[in-house]
Amino acid sequence: MTDQTGKQLNDEWETPLTPAFVRQVVTALDRLDGDEARRLVLPLRPADCAELLDLLRTDERRYLVETLGADLHADVMPELDEGIRDDVVEILDSDVIAAALQEMETDDAVYVIEDMDERDQREILDQLPADDRAAIEQSLEYPEDSAGRLMQRELVAVPPFWDVGQVIDYMRQADDLPDEFYEIFVVDPSHRPVGTLPLYRAMRSSRDMKISDLMIPEQTLLGVETDREDVARQFEKYDLISAAVVDGEGRLVGVITVDDIVEVIADEASEDIMLMGGVGSEESVTDSVFETTRGRFSWLFLNLLTAIMASLVISLFDATIEQMVALAVLMPIVASMGGNAGTQTMTIAVRSLATRDLVSMNARRIVTREVLVGLANGVMFAVLMGSIGGLWFGNFTLGLVLAAAMVVNMVVAGFAGILIPLGLEKMKVDPAVSSAVFLTTVTDIVGFFAFLGMAALWLI
């Protein structure tokens, strides 16, 4: 009985976007059966509908959006990836988009229209009520990755001299409050925040209790121009559910909630991974072949240049390699081990810089640690590969050269793996973007030079 009940619950919790369901939708779209497509898609929750649109081909997506028209739920658009969102917005009429924006929180509305050209933006904004239009326009004035863009302007703010009863009555009567909120902001006559009142405190207190007696004076305030990565760090550091956003004069202008921060963290992590892999941060699986090729070509071309530099080092020792073919067999091992060791260090360094765990005060200690780790691993692999190389080619001097080169390159890899990201950060360059290219160049050149140089001195 328990197993059957558990299975029923699991079935209820599973995503409705099963392969069979998606095939049903695609079949209806391919037959241009709009009624069947509407019947299948309209019951979906906004997040599931957005995921479905992401799975469809461009022509299928266009037909479905045209078929749904004004019935496309307003909350679907903020759930879409950027490229898909732009396609959907382009398909819909401006009056449909304007109507959808009126149902959204400010932050979602800004996300939907921020990448439109100015003329299209103006056409849509002119159809909005003055208050909604002003709120969106003000948010669009802030930098793209700032708290001002991320915040929503709908919030609950009350004076400290009110009592709980007045706050409850106000929340019941006001028609411009956010759909969901977690705390009430307490403000002075200049609309500067002086504290917060969590909803649970308000709901568990008698009506005659003063807000000034219940509020929590300590709070985390975010400036409108604070970078969204720093906002995410504040939420993580202080376990925030929401936080007030203030303008340059300290006045309360908006609020950021934890659901927005979850998206920021996911976006930033995805961006760092893609950049470290030499892929543009904006690339998506929905991009065309041309867009994807154009985005990757520059990084591949840069890698080609670094590979040529490594080849030039090898060419300096072509006579040495001709006299001892074993060197050509073994030298990729030295370079690849250094590159892998350096990548491990670089990954930790880039992530630590992003989370502010690696700062100037502890940089020397961490650099020393990574160099010692490189030395320790280098010695262990030197013993292993030196023995293998010596036995393989029956030349133990060759094994010693291989071992020494391995130690040198892995120490340099540990050193470069952390100094390169630190140097780029110092120059105000995103370490996730360029670290891998520079690191590969260093470990290849040092590995080849150390191995072939010592071989030329000791073996030939």
Burial label, 326 (beta-carbon count in 10 A; 0-12, 13-18, 19+) = middle
The CATH 1.25.60.10 portion of the chain extends over: 16-142
pLDDT tens digit sequence for 375-419: 999 899 999 988 998 898 888 899 999 999 999 999 999 989 999
3-state helix, strand, coil in the chain (%, to 5): 70, 5, 25
pLDDT greater than 50 at residue 1:
no
pLDDT tens digit sequence for 422-445: 988 888 877 776 678 788 889 999
pLDDT greater than 50 at residue 205:
yes
| pLDDT value of position 6 | 45
Radius of gyration of the chain (CA): 30
pLDDT tens digit sequence for 40-92: 999 999 999 999 998 898 899 999 999 999 899 999 998 888 888 888 988 99
| pLDDT value of position 86 | 86
What is the spatial distance between Cα 229 and Cα 246, in angstroms, rounded to a whole number? 17
Q: Are 414 and 381 in contact (CB under 8 A)?
A: no
| pLDDT value of position 38 | 94
pLDDT tens digit sequence for 269-281: 766 666 666 565 5
What phi-psi label fits residue 279: left (phi over 0), alpha (psi between -120 and 50 degrees) or beta? beta
pLDDT tens digit sequence for 152-199: 998 999 999 999 999 999 999 888 788 888 899 999 999 999 999 999
| pLDDT value of position 5 | 45
| pLDDT value of position 285 | 59
- Mean per-residue pLDDT for 131-139? 89
Query: In sequence order, which residues have a C-beta less than 8 Å from that of residue 150 and are 6 or more positions away?
Result: 107, 228, 231, 256, 260, 264
| pLDDT value of position 151 | 93
Instruction: Using alpha carbons, select from 346, 367, 347 the residue that is nearest to residue 417.
Output: 346
> Of the ranges 6-15, 97-106, 140-149, which one carries the lowest mean pLDDT score?
6-15
| pLDDT value of position 347 | 82
Instruction: Using alpha carbons, select from 203, 211, 303, 196 the residue that is nearest to residue 241.
Output: 196
**Domain at 16-142: CATH code:** 1.25.60.10
Q: Are 113 and 101 in contact (CB under 8 A)?
A: yes
pLDDT greater than 80 at residue 291:
no
The CATH 3.10.580.10 portion of the chain extends over: 157-276
Q: Are 74 and 45 in contact (CB under 8 A)?
A: no
What is the spatial distance between Cα 228 and Cα 235, in angstroms, rounded to a whole number? 11
Question: 25 falls in which pLDDT band (50, 70, 90)?
Answer: very high
The CATH 1.10.357.20 portion of the chain extends over: 289-458
pLDDT tens digit sequence for 217-255: 999 999 999 999 899 889 988 999 999 999 999 999 999
| pLDDT value of position 254 | 93
Q: Are 76 and 49 in contact (CB under 8 A)?
A: yes
| pLDDT value of position 283 | 57
| pLDDT value of position 282 | 60
**Domain at 157-276: CATH code:** 3.10.580.10
- Mean per-residue pLDDT for 341-347? 87
Q: Does domain 289-458 have CATH number 1.10.357.20?
A: yes
% of the chain surpassing 90 pLDDT: 41
| pLDDT value of position 224 | 95
* Beta pairing, strands 183-187 & 221-223: unpaired
pLDDT tens digit sequence for 293-319: 776 777 778 777 878 888 888 888 888
| pLDDT value of position 275 | 63
Question: Count of CB atoms within 10 A of residue 223's CB?
Answer: 16
Tokens of 249: 């004069």
Predicted TM-score (pTM) of the model is 0.69
Angle at 92 between CA 87 and CA 97, to 5 degrees: 105
pLDDT greater than 50 at residue 354:
yes
What is the spatial distance between Cα 278 and Cα 300, in angstroms, rounded to a whole number? 8
| pLDDT value of position 8 | 44
Burial label, 211 (beta-carbon count in 10 A; 0-12, 13-18, 19+) = buried
| Residue 189 Cα distances to 166, 398, 408, angstroms | 17, 81, 66
